[in-house]
């Protein structure tokens, strides 16, 4: 079982969703978790304690471990996320620029269709290939 599968399976069994995870410099491992109703500090402590023991048993090395809520600007990554957050404003960061030289797009998420992220930006409907997208994040509206 790879690390992502281990994280997803374990979190699912605990009643949490794995939103994203990062492995950074210096051995930092960071989990972003969510659940209906949101994440509390106690949730982060519970998950952190559980994974600390699990990583020891599974012999998974890390230097620092952090557990966090996804935040207001959460990443939109899984196919279900694109349906769940359709209608929300998002910020899309592309790997390669569009013909008009834009690499960052802010617009309303319309969904995911045929491996294309659909975004309405400045009255134009854009179909952005999923393979060309670096990251999609919710753009909080205040």
Average pLDDT over residues 1-25: 93
Q: Is the pLDDT of residue 82 over 90?
A: yes
User: Which residues neighbour 6 within 8 Å (Cβ) at sequence distance 6 or greater?
Assistant: 54, 58, 60
Return mean pLDDT, the chain: 94
pLDDT at 142: 87
- Residues 33-54 have pLDDT tens digits of 999 999 999 999 999 999 999 9
Report all structural domains of the chain as residue ranges with CATH numbers, in order of start.
3-68 (3.30.300.70), 79-138 (2.30.30.100)
Q: How far apart are CA 51 and CA 78, in angstroms?
A: 23
Q: Is the pLDDT of residue 25 over 90?
A: no
The H-assigned helical ranges of the chain are 3-14, 41-58, 79-84
pTM: 0.82
């Amino acid at each position: 079982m790879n690390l992502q599968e281990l994280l997803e399976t374990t979190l699912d069994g605990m009643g949490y969703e794995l939103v994203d995870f990062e492995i950074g410099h210096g051995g930092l491992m960071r989990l972003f978790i969510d659940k209906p109703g949101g994440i509390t500090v106690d949730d982060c402590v519970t998950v952190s304690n559980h994974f600390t023991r699990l990583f020891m048993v599974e012999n998974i090395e890390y230097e620092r471990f952090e557990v966090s809520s996804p935040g207001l600007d959460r990443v939109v990554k899984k196919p279900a996320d694109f349906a769940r957050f359709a209608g929300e404003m998002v910020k899309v960061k592309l790997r390669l620029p569009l013909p008009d030289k834009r690499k960052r797009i802010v617009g309303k998420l319309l969904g995911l269709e045929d491996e294309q992220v659909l975004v309405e930006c400045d009255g134009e409907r854009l179909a952005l290939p999923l393979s060309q997208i670096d990251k999609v994040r919710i753009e909080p509206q205040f």
